[in-house]
Amino acid sequence: MKTHMQFDNHDDRIRYYELLTERDLDALPRFPLPEGYRFAFFRQGDRDNWIDIELSAKELMSYGQGLEVWNRYYGGNENALSDRMVFIENAEGEKVCQSL
């Protein structure tokens, strides 16, 4: 009998490390988005969209945890995110995330 296994990637036991790697980005393959989707840089007000996406990926367990993580890593630096954080939007301009 086959059983369906649901995986949850949130694991507080895993330590977080910041890594910086250097690579020639011109040699990376390009994968176009499907029609109707586009890349969009962070705009003021996108914090909650970021939290929703992280929740859908099970990187966060709650909205409150999302606020805590956002404030720890991005709080006060939102102006810099317009050049660094990229979302995928659908044709209606909604940020794409996994279905909850």
Task: Give per-residue pLDDT as tens, 68-91.
Answer: 999 999 998 999 999 999 999 999
- Give the integer Cα–Cα distance in Å for 56 and 79: 25
pLDDT at res. 27: 85
**The tokens of 30 are what?**
């390009």
- Exposed/middle/buried for 95, CB within 10 Å: 0-12, 13-18, 19+? middle
Flag whether the pTM goes above 0.75.
no
What residues of the chain score a pLDDT lower than 50? 5, 100
**Cβ-based neighbour number of residue 53 at 10 Å:** 19
